[in-house]
A and B are shown apart, each in its own frame.
Chain A
Amino acid sequence: MSTVTADTGLQAAAVREDTLLEVRNLVKHFPIKSGLLIDRQVGAVQAVDDVSFSVAEGETLGLVGESGCGKSTLARSILQLIRPTSGSVRFRGTELTDLGRRQLRSLRREMQMIFQDPYASLNPRKRVGQIVGGPLALHGVASGDELKRRVQDLLERVGLSAEHYNRFPHEFSGGQRQRIGVARALALEPKMIIADEPVSALDVSIQAQIINLLEDLQKEFELTYVFVAHDLGVVRHVSDRIAVMYLGKIVEIGPAEDVYSNPIHPYTVSLLSAVPIPDPRLNEAREHVVLEGDVPSPANPPAACRFHTRCPRATEICSEVEPQLVDYGGGHWAACHHPVGRSAPGTATA
């Protein structure tokens, strides 16, 4: 059955000429410790386990999955905000996992982050000018009047006004705060922005504003996005390619429209079917696959295929052999023994 080599994870991350970010076999395990005097490691939360993918310049990669699937840990491990346990992260050919803090700092000009909670991610005691100008001052890019002018330009670029320079975060609404966070991320003219649930704390009408802003900025500054979210509608709207994660693994990755219209992995199928459609007649007519049970603990994930305990298609092999990511054509990869609507890997492929 298993004609697939262990190297497929690497093929999934096949290097293209315009590759900006390349993640290979990335692992992040958080130790679970116990003991009074001597800390013994009694286990590990396998937050991210052997994940490989690449992101091309100017592309948006969406990372989706439920809480605890490791998508935020993955995002942070890419930026080395959390140091990965093993594996490699290359940004424009530079290996980040080997770099020290000082070397990383200069590289961080090129990769910035937008956070989920616009209330927690802005220092309440600093003025907007200091928050957005912080990165410019820190990297010695600008100072004095030049800095102020650039910050005011940025504020206007994200839909705020230059007069907001001296205000405090508490004077702004959630959507406006998220715009401040976007301005801060843009300040150093980065190549890549990792956005971790940038709209999930916002109201629907404000979400649309921020998404439109991020798309405009991407065009204007030729940005590359890694977009982490649990909302499948949001991810589909912004992404060129999508990676679906379950319990620390990428179970499916491919072009956005492909993944949404022809999902291969049963988890992707049930995830898509669980999203209610805001159209009563269509919703009525649609088939719902309701997954039973909860996501297992990443401290003790199921053996082999991690989804087999909840999977409607699972058979014996799923609890014995771990499925590898297999290419189903067109850059659409999935790790499943019983792919939906395709012939199983290892058998003759159509």
Chain B
Amino acid sequence: MSTAAPLLKVDDLRVDFRTEGGVVHAVDGVSFELKSGEVLAIVGESGSGKSVTAMTLMGLTRSPNATISGRAELGDQELISATDDELRRVRGEQLAMIFQDPMTSLNPVYKVGDQITEQIRAHRDITKDEANDRAVELLKAVGIPAAEERVRQYPHEFSGGMRQRAMIAMGLSLEPPMLIADEPTTALDVTIQAQIIRVLKDLNEERGLAVILITHDLGVVADIADRVLVMYGGRVVEAGTLEQIFYDPQHPYTWGLLGSIMRLDRPRTARLAQIKGQPPTLLSPPEGCHFRPRCPHAFNRCTEVPGLEQRGGSTGHLDRCWLSGEQKKTLRVMDSGDIGLEAPAA
């Protein structure tokens, strides 16, 4: 990795929401960096805070009931304290976001082309025709056939995969250096998912687009990411390169996550490794390590919150688990390529 200044630097991001039931600590001290041209995957289950982290960077979680603190520097612009005007200039130009459900993200009563040109014309002083040509170009770049006709169509005339392509085209219209993709393929079939991942990969390789990919699918992560953040209960519990996370996982939650996937490339196991219990409620999260109640290896020290530090892993591989590197090596199950939280019951 180069030593150049990171494209995006997030430092101790915290997001709390006041609700009827109390304060939800959705994001609890998240820090990370994104280098230019890098694909960073944020992995976690529902309620882990991965989407709230991304939406907060875009300024989409601002509300009277939200308390947001921390810093997020994108070039010389700080995003958390930015005014609405400043944010508006940054969005589209510096970072763009695509969402899980491409049908609800597109406006059904406007033509796809008009939705793309709207953003271009809001930021650039160009004519309608020029903007339209640009929209056609963008749709071609994301692999939409007959783009000249497609720009004049409505979202309902597009299939799910094409809508997601159109969303990507819209995100790229001002050529931002980074894109946040929040579960971009979760609503799509596997063959269409493969097409969309290929589009993102090509954009990353050919144009050097940096991507923050939010997903729960470790297969997609293995396919496209350079680095991975594993989130649990609002915190990053492990961070490292793709190789570090998949071949030398340090946090018991990551072991459990890797062990509970039903994998096509392995002989069928008699029984799946499972993580017992439920994810924590962020209204009253467990004291100390959030994974403690579900972790078979928890001990008394786990009632203190472990910091995100390099422990048993190699350089740059950080985790939040008190177990020593030696303990981790003996406790995690990695027999014959199998990864798991506990040895399967005999």
Which A residues fall within an 8 A CB radius of B? 66-67, 173-176, 203-209, 211-212, 215, 230-234, 236-237, 256-257, 260, 270-272, 274-280, 282-283, 288, 290-292, 294-295
Among residues 196 to 247 in chain B, which have CB atoms less than 8 Å away from a CB atom of chain A?
A: 197-198, 216-223, 242-243, 246
Q: How far is the CA of A282 from the CA of B264 in the complex (A)?
A: 11
Contact A277 B222 (CB under 8 A): yes
| A279 surroundings in chain B (CB, below 8 A) | 222, 246, 263, 265
Contact B45 A276 (CB under 8 A): no
Q: How far is the CA of A294 from the CA of B163 in the complex (A)?
A: 12
Q: Nearest residue in A to B145 (C-beta to C-beta)?
A: A293
Contact A212 B272 (CB under 8 A): yes
Most chain A CB within a 10 A radius of its CB, from B191, B198, B274 = B191
Which B residues fall within an 8 A CB radius of A? 45-46, 159, 161-162, 189-195, 197-198, 216-223, 242-243, 246, 256-258, 260-265, 268-269, 271-276, 278-279
Contact B222 A215 (CB under 8 A): no
Contact B274 A209 (CB under 8 A): yes
Q: How far is the CA of A260 from the CA of B219 in the complex (A)?
A: 17
Q: From residue A199, how far is it (CB to closest CB) to chain B in Å?
A: 10
Q: From residue B213, how far is it (CB to closest CB) to chain A in Å?
A: 12
| A282 surroundings in chain B (CB, below 8 A) | 265
Contact B264 A204 (CB under 8 A): no
Contact B219 A173 (CB under 8 A): no
Contact B274 A66 (CB under 8 A): no
| B46 surroundings in chain A (CB, below 8 A) | 174, 203
Q: With contacts A236-B264, A237-B268 known, is A203 near B223, CB below 8 A?
A: no
Contact B222 A278 (CB under 8 A): yes
Q: Which of B264, B272, B275, B278 contacts A275 (CB 8 A)?
A: B264
| A174 surroundings in chain B (CB, below 8 A) | 46
Q: Which of B161, B223, B263 contacts A294 (CB 8 A)?
A: B161
Contact A173 B278 (CB under 8 A): yes
Q: From residue A261, how far is it (CB to closest CB) to chain B in Å?
A: 10
| B220 surroundings in chain A (CB, below 8 A) | 276
Q: How far is the CA of A260 from the CA of B264 in the complex (A)?
A: 8
Contact A232 B257 (CB under 8 A): no
Q: How far is the CA of A164 from the CA of B25 in the complex (A)?
A: 27
Q: How far is the CA of A209 from the CA of B259 in the complex (A)?
A: 12
Q: How far is the CA of A275 from the CA of B192 in the complex (A)?
A: 10
Q: How far is the CA of A288 from the CA of B197 in the complex (A)?
A: 12
Q: From residue A159, how far is it (CB to closest CB) to chain B in Å?
A: 10
Q: How far is the CA of A279 from the CA of B218 in the complex (A)?
A: 8
Q: From residue A167, how far is it (CB to closest CB) to chain B in Å?
A: 15
| B219 surroundings in chain A (CB, below 8 A) | 275-278, 283
| B223 surroundings in chain A (CB, below 8 A) | 276, 283
Q: With contacts A203-B46, A280-B222 known, is A232 near B264, CB below 8 A?
A: yes
| B263 surroundings in chain A (CB, below 8 A) | 233, 277-279
Q: Which of B159, B258, B262 contacts A211 (CB 8 A)?
A: B262
Q: Nearest residue in B to A276 (C-beta to C-beta)?
A: B219
| B162 surroundings in chain A (CB, below 8 A) | 294
Contact B268 A215 (CB under 8 A): no
Q: Which of B217, B243, B274 contacts A276 (CB 8 A)?
A: B217
Q: From residue A64, how far is it (CB to closest CB) to chain B in Å?
A: 10
Q: Nearest residue in B to A237 (C-beta to C-beta)?
A: B262
Contact A280 B243 (CB under 8 A): yes
| B161 surroundings in chain A (CB, below 8 A) | 294
Q: How far is the CA of A234 from the CA of B219 in the complex (A)?
A: 14
Give 18 CB contacts A-B under 8 Å. Answer: A66-B192, A173-B279, A175-B278, A203-B216, A205-B274, A208-B273, A209-B274, A211-B272, A212-B271, A212-B274, A230-B189, A233-B264, A257-B268, A275-B219, A276-B222, A280-B243, A283-B222, A290-B198
Contact A278 B258 (CB under 8 A): yes
Q: Nearest residue in A to B48 (C-beta to C-beta)?
A: A203
Contact A291 B194 (CB under 8 A): yes
Q: Which of A205, A211, A277 contacts B264 (CB 8 A)?
A: A277
| B268 surroundings in chain A (CB, below 8 A) | 236-237, 256-257
Nearest 7 interchain pairs by C-beta = A276-B219, A233-B262, A208-B260, A66-B189, A278-B218, A203-B45, A208-B274
Q: With contacts A205-B275, A237-B268, A277-B222 known, is A291 near B191, CB below 8 A?
A: yes
Contact B193 A274 (CB under 8 A): yes
Contact A66 B190 (CB under 8 A): yes
Q: From residue A61, how far is it (CB to closest CB) to chain B in Å?
A: 16
Contact A207 B260 (CB under 8 A): yes
Q: Nearest residue in A to B276 (C-beta to C-beta)?
A: A209
| A274 surroundings in chain B (CB, below 8 A) | 190-191, 193-194
Q: Which of B218, B246, B271, B273 contacts A215 (CB 8 A)?
A: B271
| B218 surroundings in chain A (CB, below 8 A) | 204, 278
Contact A67 B264 (CB under 8 A): no
Contact B190 A230 (CB under 8 A): yes
| B45 surroundings in chain A (CB, below 8 A) | 203-206
| A236 surroundings in chain B (CB, below 8 A) | 262, 264, 268
Contact A176 B264 (CB under 8 A): no
Q: How far is the CA of A290 from the CA of B143 in the complex (A)?
A: 13
Q: Which of B192, B193, B265, B269 contacts A277 (CB 8 A)?
A: B265
| A283 surroundings in chain B (CB, below 8 A) | 219, 222-223
Contact A294 B159 (CB under 8 A): yes
Q: How far is the CA of A294 from the CA of B189 in the complex (A)?
A: 10
Q: With contacts A208-B274, A237-B272, A278-B258 known, is A232 near B190, CB below 8 A?
A: yes
Q: With contacts A237-B262, A278-B246 known, is A66 near B191, CB below 8 A?
A: yes
Contact A233 B261 (CB under 8 A): yes
Q: From residue A122, how far is it (CB to closest CB) to chain B in Å?
A: 17
Q: Nearest residue in A to B190 (C-beta to C-beta)?
A: A274
